[in-house]
Structure 1
């Protein structure tokens, strides 16, 4: 098979490696890049898994976006307004509010959402004890609690809890008495997140009566999305006069910003490992240049021009980055694929949710890491390659 002369010579030098010291520095450069790429692949895959898992478990059950008219004056209609259905394929009526929940022995705060039991709600997938969503019929005053909230209140199925809303109430000779009503615990759910500490789900009509809404009013229209992060773009769209937009960022925005910032910082720190290892390529090429300068001078006397010499050393530097990044990526994927087995054999139980580490191996992300590593290796190889291309044969061969 035909190869350009620069590629042929570069691969031959890479295979033969040269002296012992140049071999050692070459191997150390490859190992450094391999370790850096492997660590970056592992950390980014685990962080991506945590972010996606958190997104599904938290934003899957909380209202992702709510469009309402003024304050508690959104009219309950059979079908949502057209401008709302144009934003999301699935829209449901919603009543929501912050409440105080009290059992016989404990008191806590919570966030109540009223849903239609005849339609699907994501919370049904996380029920661990109790009936299905259809049991939350209007007038039954039944509710679902998160498992953490249920434990803190020391309640179980069939127990009574009192919900109190301080924002509404009625005036009496003794002053304003907050709205309150007793509910029965009909189910307990677990999402594996902090949502279980506050979320309360009940029938939309019962929630409306607790909050003293008019029969035809709701808090707003709840929008569902395949990717909850699209709210960042959708929130900028203009709405008709009197309508306002609220989304999950008001409650959980800081949490996801912290997760993303931590991921970016970890990526930066691990990228520095690759950067340091890549700079070793300069040392490798300088050593190779010192060992091979006689050969370079002979090649020039045979008619090879400076750009061809430059290409030989550039390919040598890129080859180190290519080999290290490929091996590092394969080792990272192998480690992630066998992580559960590895942790079990060293007696480490490190599983947060359902005893499994959330891992997402993104091949596109790995390809980007490989390409950036190769590009970085090529960049740091420019200086020694440039110096090699300007070797003067007469000065080198004079001392041979």
Structure 2
């Protein structure tokens, strides 16, 4: 004889229990409260992680778009740009371009101000066309840096401190390349014309000045084939470890962006992990509510469990029924929370603007940066479901231990 319930029977009974009204309204309230608790935790976790991803991606695009991802240099500080000992750098994994460069610490002096800068000698013709500096030039062009013209491109923060604009003259003095004269030690210096300004919206705007590679070699009194290092652009700066594990000839060294900016990104990653941990605790508290609600449901359903046992259902079948009952609340809460979290994330900036709370836009930004990673959403969703599933184990095992004779004694 066929039953009117779909199979398997344990799933059908568990879902029927989940959808039925309970005689104890307090149990129903606790169950509903736990479901919404999981939904709120999942939604909050998706929103916060997506915003943190956005800030991390913004830092990676702006700061790591200007400073070198990886540099091949020499222990002595200088390298031959066309050295036959160098491996084929552009064939290494994740490397999209390579170009020689020189860097040095220096001072810039305008008619009224003086400031320190990090000077980079570059060859614009060998820079990738999709480099961030090409798209973030506020005035002038990067390819205006031609050897012998003595032009300089400044970050907008440096230009603001010096109170200069395109076309103004500044004096560049380098700490390297000094020479001794009857008047003492004189730094290498030269008048440069400001030919461009860039602004990526990060602190590098206050630190970087770019000049032609040939002009930097002349100031430092270096031969044309000698440079400070070979700069590599990666498709993902966080893949630097896969590049620097390649062996280099004796005397050559790998240097990557983590030497200068590693602590900043470690702090951002740590903050993201701590925020995620705090929000996971919200989900964990909600799953404990599922556990307490299921314990009360087991007490409420002892008579029915006893009847099922007398009809021949095994202990494992009883366990599966209550696992389905508890996991259904967790799955419903996780799915609802994921949908709500994605909706809030994608509409976060319009919502904050409508409420007058978007302080990031009021400060001059274009809105909170948001990057939704599908793998993270799936991980959050799966984690919430697993926590809910784990919370059902004890109540389900307790239900399986119900003794039919004792439960039905006074029925």
Q: Where on the TM-score scale, by shorter chain, does this alignment land: which range?
A: over 0.9
Shift of residue 235 of structure 1? 2.1
Aligned residue number for residue 115 of structure 1: 122
1:41 and 2:46 correspond = yes
TM-score between the two structures when normalised by the length of structure 1? 0.96
Q: Alignment partner for residue 251 of structure 2, among 225, 242, 248?
A: 242
- Following TM superposition, by how much is the alpha carbon of 1:6 offset from its aligned partner in structure 2, in angstroms? 0.7
Equivalenced residues, count = 399
**Contact 2:86–2:248 under 8 Å retained in 1:** no
- Tell me what 1:6 maps to: 10
User: Matched residue of 1:82: which SS?
Assistant: coil
* Correspondence 1:209 to 2:218: yes
Question: Which of residues 169, 177, 182 is equivalent to 1:160?
Answer: 169
The match for 1:251 among 226, 235, 260 is: 260
Whole-angstrom distance in 1 between the partners of 2:85 and 2:199: 30
Among residues 129, 132, 150, which one is paired with 2:139 in the alignment? 129
**Alpha carbons 1:192, 1:353 under 8 Å: kept:** no
* 2:109 and 2:172 in contact (8 A); partners too: yes
Distance in 2 between residues matched to 1:146 and 1:354, nearest whole Å: 18
1:101 aligns with 2:104: no
CA deviations over 1:159-203 (Å, ceiling 9, x no partner): 111222223300122322121222111111110111111111121
Residue 199 of structure 1 is matched in structure 2 by 208
1:361 paired residue number: 372
Q: CA deviation at 1:89?
A: 4.0
Equivalence for 1:260: 269
How far the C-alpha of 1:153 sits from its partner, in A, is 1.4
Query: 3-state DSSP class of the match of 2:14?
Result: helix
Output one character per residue of 1:137-164: Cα deviation in whole Å (capped at 9) or x when no partner: 1111111111112111111111111222
SS in 1 for 2:126: coil
Q: Deviations over 1:327-374 (max 9, x none)?
A: 111111111111121111112332377512211111221111111111
List per-residue Cα deviations over 1:96-128 (Å, max 9, x = no partner): 122222222222221111211323352111101
How far apart are the structure 2 equivalents of 1:153 and 1:258? 32
Which deviates more from structure 2 when the two are superposed, residues 67-76 or residues 176-185?
Answer: 67-76
Which runs of structure 2 are paired with 1:65-84 in the superposition (5 Å)?
65-77=70-82, 81-84=86-89
- Judge conservation of contact 1:72–1:217 (CA < 8 Å) in 2: no
Matches within 5 A, 1:385-400: 385-400=396-411
Question: What is the rounded CA distance, in whole Å, between the counterparts of 2:154 and 2:85 in structure 1?
Answer: 28
Does residue 305 of the first structure (1) align with residue 309 of the second (2)?
no
SS of the residue 1:356 aligns to: coil
* Contact kept? 2:38, 2:282, Cα under 8 Å: yes
Is 1:54 the counterpart of 2:59? The answer is yes
Q: CA deviation at 1:81?
A: 3.2
Cα distance in 1 for residues equivalent to 2:241 and 2:50: 24
Give structure 2 stretches of 5+ with no counterpart. none
Q: Is the 8 A contact 1:69 1:243 kept in 2?
A: yes
Q: Which residue of 2 aligns with 1:147?
A: 156
Determine the structure 1 residue equivalent to 2:325: 316
Q: What displacement does 1:90 show? A: 1.6
Q: How does 1:306-345 map to 2 (within 5 A)?
A: 306-345=315-354
Query: CA separation in 1, counterparts of 2:137 and 2:173?
Result: 24
Equivalent position of 1:15 in the other structure? 19
SS of the aligned residue for 1:285 comes to helix
In the alignment, the residues of structure 2 paired with residue 48 and residue 80 of structure 1 have an alpha-carbon distance, to the nearest angstrom, of 40
Give the Cα–Cα distance (whole angstroms) in 1 for the partners of residues 210 and 71 of structure 2. 16
* Structure 1 residue 2: Cα displacement: 3.3
TM-score, scaled relative to structure 2: 0.93
2:97, 2:127 within 8 Å by CA — same for their partners in 1?
no
Counterpart secondary structure, 2:124: coil
Partner Cα distance (2:248, 2:153) in 1: 33
Matched position secondary structure for 2:43: helix
Distance apart, 1:75 and its partner CA: 1.3
CA distance in 2, matches of 1:348, 1:387: 49
Could you tell me whether the CA contact under 8 Å between 1:73 and 1:218 is conserved in 2?
A: yes
Q: Distance in 1 between matches of 2:76 and 2:113?
A: 32
Q: Partners in 2 of 1:387 and 1:136 — Cα distance?
A: 77
